[in-house]
Amino acid sequence: MLATINTNNSKVTIDLSKPLDISIVMSDSPQNPLAWYLEKPEISAVQLGDWVGKVSKGAAVNFNNISFNPHAHGTHTECLGHITDSFYSVNDALKSFFFTAEVITISPVLIQEDYVLTLDAVKEKIKNKTPKAVVIRTMPNTISKTSRKYSNTNWPYLDYKAAAFLRDLGVQHLLIDLPSVDKEKDDGALLAHKAFWNIPQGPRKNATITEFVYVNDTIKDGPYVLNLQVAPFENDAAPSRPVLYEIA
Res 1: pLDDT: 83
**CA-based angle 198:104:112, to the nearest 5?**
70
Residue 98's nearest CA partner among 211, 13, 225, 8 is 225
First to last CA, the chain: 11
CB neighbour list of residue 9: distance below 8 Å, 6 or more residues apart: none
DSSP letter for each residue of 156-181: -EE-HHHHHHHHHHT--EEEESSS-S
Distance CA 64, CA 67 (A): 10
- Domain ranges in the chain are 2-26+70-246
Q: Specify the amino acid at residue 180.
A: S
Res 8: pLDDT: 66
Res 6: pLDDT: 79
Tell me the CB-side half-sphere exposure of residue 207, using CA atoms within 13 A: 23
- Which stretch of DSSP H or E encloses residue 227? strand 222-230
Domain 2-26+70-246 has CATH 3.50.30.50: yes
**φ, ψ (nearest 5 deg) of residue 32:** -65, 135
The answer to whether 222 and 1 are in contact (CB under 8 A) is no
- pLDDT beneath 50: ranges in the chain: none
Res 5: pLDDT: 81
